[in-house]
Amino acid sequence: MNTENDPDKFRIIVSDWIEQNYPAELRQAPGADGQDPRQSKPYEQAWLQRMAEQGLLAPTWPKEYGGAGFSADQARILSQEQRRAKVRAIPISAGLSLLGPVLLEHGTPEQKSQHLSKIARNECFWCQGYSEPGSGSDLASLSTRAELIGEEFVVNGQKIWTSHADDADWMFCLVRTDPEASKHEGISFLLIDMKTPGISVSPIRLISGPSAFCQTFFDDVRVPKENLMGHLGQGWTLAKQLLQHERQALGSIGRGDARRALTLPELAAQEMGTDDLGRIADPGIRTQVAQCELDSLALRTTMSRSADEARAGQSGGHIASMLKLYGSELTTRRHELMISMRGADGIGWEGPGFTPAAMRTTRQWLRAKGNSIEGGTNEIQRNVIAKRVLDLPE
Amino acid sequence: MALVLTEEQQLLKNSAREFVAGTFAVDQVRQHRDGTYPGSDTALRYSRDHWQQMAELGWTGIIFPEQYGGLGLGYAELGIVLEELGRALAAQPFVSTVLLAGNTILRGGNEDQKQSWLPGICAGEKVLALAFQESGRFSPWQISTRADATAEGFQISGEKRFVLDAYGADQLVVLTRTSGSSGDRDGLTLFLVDPAAKGVSITELKVLDSRNAALIEFNGTEASAEQVIGEVGKAADILEPVFDCAIAGLNAELVGIMSEAFERTLEYLKTRQQFGALIGTFQALKHRAADMFCEREHAISMTMAALRAIDNKSHDAILLISAAKARTSDAANLIGRESIQMFGGIGMTDEEDIGLFMKRARVAEMTLGDSTYHRERFAQLSGF
């Protein structure tokens, strides 16, 4: 896509492109007219493909790696125009939003040319091998072992919460390469091909039903030495950097932008009815809706401020933890409010008698409970803020 | 406009911080309260010398055009000064003179009225008060004070409450009803009134933040047509944006108040020992400090966005102003409550400063609508 310098002209180019390329089938809310939201999957795929061809899935990456070569300002215009056109959210992809930025900075030239373009073109799927059954909040205590034998690492152990591991092509994985070193210094960052013999995957069922989460087991898995990212023992540094991206991505879920099916005020108007002045009829619900919407506005505004600070070369300091903490709590509150508005329609699990949209609310209400756990629990985020930002004693 | 300070704004912030640190000690709040502040008129509850010094720095004229002796800058700049003043709990007639009465004259007055008062405000020589509120909760058009037409002009009668800096003011701007009934947006008229005029009685109030506020009774006070600001019956059109800009300024002051209170609380967590450990090592307090930090960050973002929206004449300025007032009020309230709790027993004493921050914050939260009022307004403006 033309990277026009004039922001107003650029905005027109972008909005025209969205207008011409965004599939008509996605312009109605998912689940509208009682449809099964899954029916729109092929159109979502087509849209992702069109975006990928233009490098728009990774707008700020260089063109040589499949990005669009946009500046931060241009990427922001793209995101604003998508929101304005009510383009549906792209599911957070581990390759695009988590690994990509770290790989760009720390990957070897070979690793970058092998992986980045495929990620940007949506051709290769990644999963994240971080948590272990015994290492949740205390991630750095992880024990999956990678022993360097000749030209290969031999990996043994078990990862949990590896989203989409059952259909991922690759995994970026934290492994212990030096059991003698201190907890943080003995960790390395490996890129592992999921087709390697010795890897087995089993999906995890959540309180909300089937999920993308999996457990992944490693039994003498041989990984070429070149697949080490960064230096041996540098894994924890890279891991933390990547977690910042993850927290930011998770925090942005809470913004509550126009990409969801029905906005919260729309849902409230539908469920509670409206009065003569067009206001949500139940004043108590209306106050809670106002609180949620106002908090979303505050979160979005703080995100803009943090982007402006980054552009001006002022570090906002561990802003990611704050956004993740606040965004996930807001998401939880929204879902609590949505399910309470549905009343008895919000208790349907499956089958007849409930609309797909109502059952989605129920499942999402359950799934949202995980938002304040994944990516570092909110308690961990508060610890990070207290330590790194507020400099409170340990 | 980006949500960061420009180089010039950073310089202004630095000089404001330096001036405030050298001029206003938090203890002056007690001195103004107890009548021990040095000066001839202890009932004034602020220092006119300091007001004069700020005028010399140009700050009293930040938002006024150069032709009236102002700097012709924006609300982003005014917010910087108000935030720094908020940090020191500096009692100065900024809200009353600049944001309320001065801005009313700027937006609604004729050229004569502007020339009569604005240069005096910019020079730090005049202090003005806007007498509008009559009810306890902010409800801008709930006005019963009458201005009845007479052969010579008008006769004003009624009672105004909580008039900021009315005691010692050089001029009053008074909101009256010339037609309709209380609650109507139409039928309101503004007058310039000499506080020494016949039938004006000003009673000093003692309020939570120890600042200057008064009850004013008008008993058949005569006013001529020349004293009317703007058109008869159309005051609401003038006042609506004046109130909004003043709210945006109060938000900046609240950010300053909560920031100082929060930083003092953090310092206390890092120095106070109990059970042989610094209390800041306790996770129960750390996590609450992290929550206070998040709330303050959002308050800062919203306040900056609202001030810039006024300067940019953005279509969503009013929405942002109300949203920001709701956030800053709630955040200041949280930090006020939590700071006293974390200081423990000493936080309850008058000797410790921390309670003074909560007291001023409480008044600023309530002024021109609290968070409940502004959340409701946000919902209305958002159309749900």
Answer yes or no: is A1 within a domain.
no
Q: How far is CA A167 from the centre of its chain?
A: 17
Q: Please name the member of B270, B294, B384 whose beta carbon is closest to the beta carbon of A286.
A: B384
Residues from chain A contacting residue B300 (CB–CB below 8 Å): 305
pLDDT at A29: 64
Percent of chain A with pLDDT over 90: 70
Write the pLDDT tens digit of every residue in B329-376: 999 999 999 999 999 999 999 999 999 999 999 999 999 999 999 999
Q: Are A342 and A302 in contact (CB under 8 A)?
A: no
pLDDT at A310: 82
Residue of B nearest to A318 (CA): B294
Pairing mode, if any, of strands B128-131 and B171-177? parallel
Residues from chain B contacting residue A391 (CB–CB below 8 Å): 266, 270
Name the DSSP letter for residue B147: E
Query: Which residue, B166, B160, B153, is CA-closest to B232?
Result: B153
Provide, for chain B, the percentages of residues in helix, strand and coil under a 3-state DSSP scheme, each rounded to the nearest 5. 55, 15, 30
Residues from chain B contacting residue A298 (CB–CB below 8 Å): 298, 301-302, 323, 327
Is there a single domain that holds both residue A230 and residue A260? no
Is there a single domain that holds both residue A226 and residue A162? yes
pLDDT of residue A39 exceeding 80: no
Residue of A nearest to B305 (CA): A301
CA distance A41 to A49: 12
Q: Is A359 on the interface with B (CB under 8 A)?
A: no
pLDDT of residue B382 exceeding 50: yes
Q: What are phi and psi of B239, to 5 degrees?
A: -75, -30
pLDDT of residue B141 exceeding 50: yes
* pLDDT class of A259 with cuts at 50, 70, 90: very low
Q: What are phi and psi of B314, to 5 degrees?
A: -70, 150
Is there a single domain that holds both residue A265 and residue A220? no
Percent of chain B with pLDDT over 90: 98
Is there a single domain that holds both residue A197 and residue A270? no
Q: Is B110 on the interface with A (CB under 8 A)?
A: no
CA distance A40 to A28: 10
Tell me what the mean pLDDT of segment A269-275 comes to: 92
Answer yes or no: is A134 within a domain.
yes
Answer yes or no: is A104 within a domain.
no
Query: Which residue, B382, B364, B252, is CA-closest to B319?
Result: B382
Q: Is A374 on the interface with B (CB under 8 A)?
A: no
pLDDT of residue A256 exceeding 50: no
Q: Please name the member of B280, B301, B376 whose beta carbon is closest to the beta carbon of A298.
A: B301
Write the pLDDT tens digit of every residue in A191-209: 999 999 999 999 999 999 9
Answer yes or no: is A251 within a domain.
no
Is there a single domain that holds both residue A191 and residue A282? no
Non-local CB neighbours of B322 within 8 Å, separated by 6+ positions:
B247, B369, B374, B375, B377, B378, B381
Q: Is B273 on the interface with A (CB under 8 A)?
A: no
Question: Sign (positive/negative) of CA torsion B225, B229, B231, B235?
Answer: negative
pLDDT of residue A257 exceeding 60: no
* Domain stop point among A205, A235, A265: A235
pLDDT at B325: 98
Residues from chain B contacting residue A267 (CB–CB below 8 Å): none
Q: Is B373 on the interface with A (CB under 8 A)?
A: no
pLDDT at A255: 56
Query: The domain that contains A144 carries what CATH number?
Result: 2.40.110.10
Query: Could you give the 3-state DSSP secondary structure of residue A279?
Result: coil
Q: Is A315 on the interface with B (CB under 8 A)?
A: no
CB contact under 8 A, A392 and B382: no
Residue of A nearest to B262 (CA): A390
pLDDT of residue A272 exceeding 60: yes
Q: Is B137 on the interface with A (CB under 8 A)?
A: no
CB contact under 8 A, A311 and B382: no
Residue A110 appears among annotated catalytic residues: no
Tell me what the mean pLDDT of segment A57-68 comes to: 93
Is there a single domain that holds both residue A179 and residue A209? yes
Non-local CB neighbours of A144 within 8 Å, separated by 6+ positions:
A129, A132, A155, A156, A157, A158, A159, A173, A174, A175, A176, A218
Q: Is B306 on the interface with A (CB under 8 A)?
A: no
DSSP codes joined into one string, B164-193: ET-TT-SEEEEEEESSS-TT-SSSEEEEEE
End-to-end CA separation in angstroms for chain B: 29
- Our CA angle for A253, A256, A262, nearest 5°, is 120
Answer yes or no: is A119 within a domain.
no
Answer yes or no: is A110 within a domain.
no
Q: Is A322 on the interface with B (CB under 8 A)?
A: yes
ipTM: 0.94
Q: Is A385 on the interface with B (CB under 8 A)?
A: yes
Provide, for chain A, the percentages of residues in helix, strand and coil under a 3-state DSSP scheme, each rounded to the nearest 5. 50, 15, 30
Query: Could you give the 3-state DSSP secondary structure of residue A27?
Result: coil
How many other C-beta atoms are found inside a 10 Å radius of the C-beta of residue A211?
16
Q: How many residues does chain A have?
A: 394
Q: How many residues does chain B have?
A: 384
CA distance A58 to A74: 12
Q: How many CB pairs under 8 A join A and B?
A: 115
Q: Are A152 and A227 in contact (CB under 8 A)?
A: no
Q: Please name the member of B2, B266, B281 whose beta carbon is closest to the beta carbon of A394.
A: B281
Answer yes or no: is A162 within a domain.
yes
CB contact under 8 A, B297 and A322: yes
Q: Which of these ranges, A246-255, A266-275, B18-27, B46-55, has the smallest mean pLDDT?
A: A246-255
Residue-number span of the structural domain to which A367 is assigned: 256-389
Tell me what the mean pLDDT of segment B63-74 comes to: 97
pLDDT of residue A1 exceeding 80: no
pLDDT of residue A160 exceeding 80: yes
Q: Are A289 and A265 in contact (CB under 8 A)?
A: yes
| Number of domains, chain A | 3
pLDDT of residue A33 exceeding 60: no
Domains and CATH numbers, chain B: 7-126 (1.10.540.10), 129-234 (2.40.110.10), 237-382 (1.20.140.10)
Catalytic residue of the set A246, A266, A271, A293:
A246
Q: Position of tokens 């803020």?
A: A385
- Show the tokens assigned to B173: 């701007």
Q: Please name the member of B298, B376, B384 whose beta carbon is closest to the beta carbon of A265.
A: B384
Is there a single domain that holds both residue A297 and residue A218? no
Min Cα separation A26/chain B (Å) = 25
Is there a single domain that holds both residue A230 and residue A287? no
Query: Which residue, B89, B175, B167, B185, is CA-closest to B130?
Result: B175
Chain A interface mutation, best of B297, B335, B338, highest count of A Cβ atoms under 10 Å: B297
pLDDT of residue A316 exceeding 90: no
Q: Please name the member of B2, B286, B323 whose beta carbon is closest to the beta carbon of A386.
A: B286
Is there a single domain that holds both residue A147 and residue A221? yes
Write the pLDDT tens digit of every residue in B18-65: 999 999 999 999 999 999 999 878 899 999 999 999 999 999 999 999
Question: Sign (positive/negative) of CA torsion A187, A188, A194, A199?
Answer: negative
CA distance A90 to B383: 28
Min Cα separation A10/chain B (Å) = 18
pLDDT of residue A258 exceeding 50: no
For residue A206, the surrounding DSSP H or E stretch is strand A199-206
Query: Which residue, B165, B143, B151, is CA-closest to B47?
Result: B165
CA distance B375 to B328: 12
Q: Is A149 on the interface with B (CB under 8 A)?
A: no
CB contact under 8 A, B379 and A287: yes
Query: The domain that contains A381 carries what CATH number?
Result: 1.20.140.10
Query: Which residue, B267, B290, B83, B77, is CA-closest to A317?
Result: B290
Query: Which residue, A96, A91, A93, A85, is CA-closest to A26?
Result: A85
Is there a single domain that holds both residue A264 and residue A384? yes
Residues from chain B contacting residue A382 (CB–CB below 8 Å): 286-287, 290-291
Q: Please name the member of A279, A308, A383 whose beta carbon is closest to the beta carbon of B384.
A: A279
Is there a single domain that holds both residue A204 and residue A285? no
Chain B interface mutation, best of A279, A294, A319, A383, highest count of B Cβ atoms under 10 Å: A294
CA distance B92 to B351: 23
CB contact under 8 A, A301 and B378: no
Answer yes or no: is A32 within a domain.
yes
CB contact under 8 A, B301 and A309: no
pLDDT of residue B121 exceeding 70: yes
Is there a single domain that holds both residue A323 and residue A385? yes
CB contact under 8 A, B4 and A289: no
Tell me what the mean pLDDT of segment A74-84 comes to: 87
Q: What are phi and psi of A233, to 5 degrees?
A: 85, 0
* pLDDT class of A218 with cuts at 50, 70, 90: very high
